[in-house]
């Protein structure tokens, strides 16, 4: 519990943002000022020949600690954006070591003295006992060599920190910070100590946990697993070179005096550099050993990495690419890129095509070799039936596979592509050795097949969506054209008001109504309903319009018109189709309403006094019979017009509409609504009928096409005997 609490408190610790320009300026100033003070201190002590007073020494050591602490923060902030590739990090560390060795060698060449002088306490121009540099060269060497060694070890720590923090966790962060805390603690315990003294028992004890945490952090090597073989070998060589260089920095190599100069410069910095170098050596040793043990598994890890990359590529294609050819090429390349097979091909089903199975893509061999070597249709039939993988460890021994001259198909794996319980095709993968597929290969290829099926299904749905959108646009255009075929303006006739509308259940429909002004006194009208809905009904509706517009002027009377229309349609209508119509003439000169029905709904008539009835004249639909039967069944109904008479013509979409309970609107409700609103003119009555129908249905959508035409006879004004000019309004006042 105390350790957990300590971790939480340490994680909650937030330092200032040293990457900002303001903080960088502060840190650089502290480094420059502190280093300059160190040089001044040594020049003063050299000129005086004795060590400065205690107060000056305390100030000197404090400024040195502050200077190099600022240098650490400055370097740490600069290394946050460094490339974390292990090979590059070790390469940077080696380059830093080479630079350090070269510069240190040049600096050591200054002045006399080469190494430790026996028995007099002096090292290369330094008096340890009095803490005084003996020459100007010694002053330069003390400051420069200390700067080089400490900076080098700091760089090593920062570079290795990037590797320790690979896939970082809270535990790894805490362990690193704890190690750095022990390093700093052990170093500060030597504050103000004479460089001629030993470390002492307290410092030695403090260094034990520091070394222990260095060992713990040196085993943070998770980055090794994912390295390719070449990078592992390169990293191993670089780690060996770096370990040798760090050994030199400890004072046992070609530069024995460097650590002595640093110790004279600042005992705490010398201890910190020693611990940093020890950690670097430990990390290099564990790195080399771990790399050596992981070399045999490099191929397996690389294979898994390739499988993951292939799956990610397919997953990306699922949402990004809908081109079938590109998808197919990527699918067959995936098992080969993942080293799960040598040859792969994709077989897809094409429902409705002349060849239902199509070899869509092949990778690693020629399509002709695949088709000549094996019966892919028979193999596919088996996986289609079982919806499971088919594994042939000795493929040439199967009757469906023939031996390839080059031995390309010695073992074969067939995986069905399943999407929503449908088999879209199959992924075939072959190897050039028998028993070439391990369990991991089968699992990986099944994952590829699952992703491929999803991608292909998405591509298919995308194509279907595009096709639906195209059809929707075309139907919208057809709807607009169809609406223009209907009357854009209802003709006016004296003594009469007319209102009409037509609504399709789908984008287009088969209902039709129209008017033709024959002369000043006569208006021909028609309401039709093509058997069926949708586009076929719309085509027959357009044909019916042409017949009505042409024949109504040549044979205007109901019997003659319908006989001629039936003969015209018999040559074009499908045998399973027919058209029901009601056609008539409103003759205001004779004050008559003449009509005939060809299998259509009866016309509703209601007079001024509320008496409603249905006009059920005989007749069969257009297109059901070519001649005599149609003509013999046709009856013409003639009604004398009385002021207030209302004629309602409609299609079965009105009376056969059903509400949510399945109840039909029916003729009774139609007549009741007519009786209630019979005193209104045609427009208001038409609107009232539709409103009553919507209320009954509980919605404004219909299951069938719906057409409604209301004709109301108001009567001729007294004294009017001649035709009135044609008006543009939909109705005339009574």
- Which pLDDT belongs to residue 584? 94
DSSP state of 295: G
Which pair of tokens denotes residue 497?
Answer: 């008001």
Which pair of tokens denotes residue 180?
Answer: 């750095």
Q: Cα separation of 288 and 292, whole Å?
A: 6
- Which pLDDT belongs to residue 319? 56
- Which pLDDT belongs to residue 533? 59
Q: Domain limits of the chain? A: 84-300, 321-464, 494-713
- Sheet architecture: strand order including 522-530: 511-517, 522-530, 579-587, 592-598, 636-640
| Count of other CB atoms within 10 angstroms of residue 87 | 17
| CATH among 3.90.600.10, 3.40.50.10680, 3.60.40.10, 3.40.50.720 for 494-713 | 3.60.40.10
**Among 158, 181, 165, CA closest to 10:** 181
Angle at which helices 86-108 and 229-247 pack, to 10 degrees?
30
- Which pLDDT belongs to residue 689? 92
Q: Cα separation of 130 and 127, whole Å?
A: 6
Which pair of tokens denotes residue 523?
Answer: 């208006």
Full DSSP string of 536-593? HHHHHHHHHHHHHHHHHHHS-SHHHHHHHHHHHHHTTS-TT--EEEEEEEEETTTTEE
CB contact burial 432-442 (16+ within 10 A = b; e otherwise): beeebbeeebb
Angle at the Cα of 650 from the Cα atoms of 645 and 654, rounded to 5 degrees = 120
Sequence-ordered alpha helix ranges (H) in 601-720: 628-633, 652-655, 666-677, 682-697
Is 137 within 8 Å of 108 (Cβ atoms)?
no
Residue 503, CA distances (Å) to 224, 261, 491, 601, 719 in order: 72, 100, 20, 17, 40
* Look-up of token digits 């109901």: 558
Which pair of tokens denotes residue 373?
Answer: 């070597």
Q: Cα separation of 593 and 591, whole Å?
A: 7
- Which pLDDT belongs to residue 172? 86
Task: Please give the CATH number for the structural domain made up of 321-464.
Answer: 3.30.450.40
- Which pLDDT belongs to residue 250? 65
Q: Name 390's bridge partners.
A: 414
* Look-up of token digits 């939909």: 730
Q: What are phi and psi of 219, to 5 degrees?
A: -95, 10
405 CB burial (10 A radius; 0-12, 13-18, 19+): exposed
Full DSSP string of 296-324? GGHHHHHHHHHHHHHHHHHHHHHHH---H
**Among 337, 188, 200, 214, CA closest to 267:** 188
Which three-class secondary structure string do you get for 118-135? CCCCEECCEECCCCEECC
Is 74 within 8 Å of 21 (Cβ atoms)?
no
Beta strand 603-606 with 592-598 is unpaired
Q: What are phi and psi of 291, to 5 degrees?
A: -60, -40
Q: What is the CA radius of gyration of the chain?
A: 49
Low-confidence ranges of the chain (pLDDT < 50): 1, 10-11, 112-121, 252-254, 721-734
Q: Tell how far CA 125 is from the center of its chain.
A: 70
Sequence-ordered alpha helix ranges (H) in 435-555: 439-485, 535-554
């Amino acid at each position: 519990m105390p350790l957990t609490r300590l971790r939480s408190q340490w994680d909650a610790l937030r330092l200032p943002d040293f990457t900002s320009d303001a903080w960088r300026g502060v840190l650089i100033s502290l480094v420059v000022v502190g280093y300059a003070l160190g040089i001044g201190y040594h020049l003063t002590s050299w000129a005086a020949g004795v060590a400065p007073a205690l107060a000056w020494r305390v100030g000197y050591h404090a400024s040195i600690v502050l200077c190099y602490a600022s240098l650490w923060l400055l370097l740490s902030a600069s290394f946050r954006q460094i490339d974390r590739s292990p090979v590059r990090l070790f390469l940077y560390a080696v380059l830093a070591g080479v630079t350090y060795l070269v510069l240190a060698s040049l600096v050591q060449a200054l002045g006399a003295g080469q190494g430790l002088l026996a028995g007099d306490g002096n090292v290369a121009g330094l008096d340890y006992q009095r803490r005084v540099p003996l020459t100007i060269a010694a002053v330069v060497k003390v400051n420069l060599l200390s700067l080089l060694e400490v900076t080098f070890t700091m760089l090593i720590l920062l570079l290795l920190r990037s590797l320790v923090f690979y896939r970082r966790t809270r535990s790894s962060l805490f362990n690193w910070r704890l190690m750095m805390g022990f390093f700093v603690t052990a170093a500060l315990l030597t504050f103000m100590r004479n460089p001629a003294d030993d470390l002492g028992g307290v410092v030695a004890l403090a260094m034990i946990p520091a070394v222990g945490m260095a060992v713990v952090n040196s085993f943070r090597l998770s980055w090794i697993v994912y390295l390719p073989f070449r990078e592992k070998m390169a990293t191993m060589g670089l780690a060996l070179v770096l370990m040798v260089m760090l050994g030199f920095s400890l004072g046992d190599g070609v530069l024995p005096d460097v650590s002595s100069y640093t110790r004279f410069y600042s005992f705490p910095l010398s201890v910190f550099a020693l611990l940093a170098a020890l950690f670097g050596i430990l990390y290099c040793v564990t790195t080399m050993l771990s790399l050596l043990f992981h070399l045999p598994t490099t191929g397996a890890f690389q294979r898994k990495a390739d499988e993951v990359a292939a799956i990610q590529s397919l997953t990306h294609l699922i949402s990004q690419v809908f081109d079938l050819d590109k998808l197919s090429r990527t699918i067959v390349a995936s098992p080969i890129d993942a080293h799960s097979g040598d040859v792969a091909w994709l077989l897809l089903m094409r429902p409705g095509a002349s060849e239902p199975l199509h070899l869509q893509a092949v990778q690693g061999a020629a399509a002709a070799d695949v088709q000549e070597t094996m019966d892919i249709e028979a193999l596919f039939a088996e996986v289609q039936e079982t919806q499971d993988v088919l594994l042939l460890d000795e493929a040439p021994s199967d009757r469906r596979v023939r031996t390839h001259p080059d031995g390309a198909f010695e073992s074969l794996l067939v995986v069905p592509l399943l999407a929503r319980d449908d088999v879209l095709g199959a992924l075939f993968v072959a190897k050039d050795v028998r028993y070439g597929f391990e369990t991991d290969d089968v699992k990986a290829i099944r994952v590829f097949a699952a992703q491929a099926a999803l991608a292909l299904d998405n591509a298919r749905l995308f194509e279907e969506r595009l096709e639906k959108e195209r059809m929707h646009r075309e139907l919208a255009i057809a709807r607009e054209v169809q609406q223009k075929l209907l009357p854009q303006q209802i003709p006016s006739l004296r003594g009469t008001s007319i209102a009409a509308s037509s609504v399709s259940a789908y984008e287009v429909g088969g209902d039709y109504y129209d008017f033709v002004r024959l002369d000043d006194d006569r208006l021909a009208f028609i309401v039709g309903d093509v058997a069926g809905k949708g586009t076929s009904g719309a085509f027959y509706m357009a044909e019916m319009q042409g017949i009505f517009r042409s024949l109504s002027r040549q044979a205007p009377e109901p019997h003659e018109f319908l006989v001629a229309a039936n003969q015209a349609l018999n040559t074009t209508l499908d045998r399973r189709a027919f058209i029901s119509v009601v056609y008539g003439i409103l003759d205001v000169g004779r004050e008559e309403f003449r009509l005939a029905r060809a299998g259509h709904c009866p016309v509703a008539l209601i007079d001024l006094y509320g008496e409603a009835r249905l006009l059920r004249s005989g007749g069969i639909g257009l297109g059901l019979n070519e001649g005599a039967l149609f003509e013999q069944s046709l009856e013409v109904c003639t009604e004398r017009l009385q002021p207030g008479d209302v004629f309602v013509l409609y299609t079965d979409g009105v009376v056969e509409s059903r509400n949510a309970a399945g109840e039909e609107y029916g003729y009774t409700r139609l007549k009741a609504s007519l009786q209630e609103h019979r005193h209104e003119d045609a427009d208001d009555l038409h609107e009232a009928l539709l409103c009553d129908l919507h209320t009954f249905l509980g919605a404004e959508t219909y299951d069938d096409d719906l057409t409604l035409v209301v004709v109301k006879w108001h009567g001729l004004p007294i004294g009017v005997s001649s035709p009135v000019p044609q008006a543009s309004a939909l109705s005339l006042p009574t």
